[in-house]
Amino acid sequence: MTRSDLIERAAAAYERASCPHRHGPYGLFDYTSYGSSVPHVVRDLRDMCSVDFNKVVFRSTCPDAAQAEYDRLNREHIFGAVVDAVLADPTREAASPN
């Protein structure tokens, strides 16, 4: 596999994992105007078919803490997918019927 092939594989994984047609793999929401006692929420938006879609995965009264967790989760999901794609065995993919 060439360097160019690896770059293409990593770029494709990045595009898929970043969920470009919505907030991203995770969403950061502020429910302050709704009177919530813990208004800063991070939700899991990775897989719309999953029963866990839109599940709250983090809550905080501190907007900075919610932003930090949102950033961490998105970075972990996206770059984890990139690393997995780059490390994947291309011979197994070629043999796959999908």
pLDDT of 10: 95
31 within 8 A of 41, measured Cβ to Cβ: yes
Q: For the purposes of burial, counting CB atoms within 10 Å of the CB of 79, is it exposed (0-12), middle (13-18) or buried (19 or more)?
A: middle
Q: What is the pLDDT of residues 5-31, one digit of tens each?
A: 999 999 999 999 998 888 789 999 999
Structure tokens that stand for 81 in this block? 């997918």
pLDDT of 39: 96
Q: What is the pLDDT of residues 39-93, one digit of tens each?
A: 999 999 999 999 999 999 999 999 999 999 999 999 999 999 999 999 987 766 5
User: Which residues lie closer than 8 Å to 57 by C-beta, 6 or more apart?
Assistant: 26, 42, 43, 44, 73
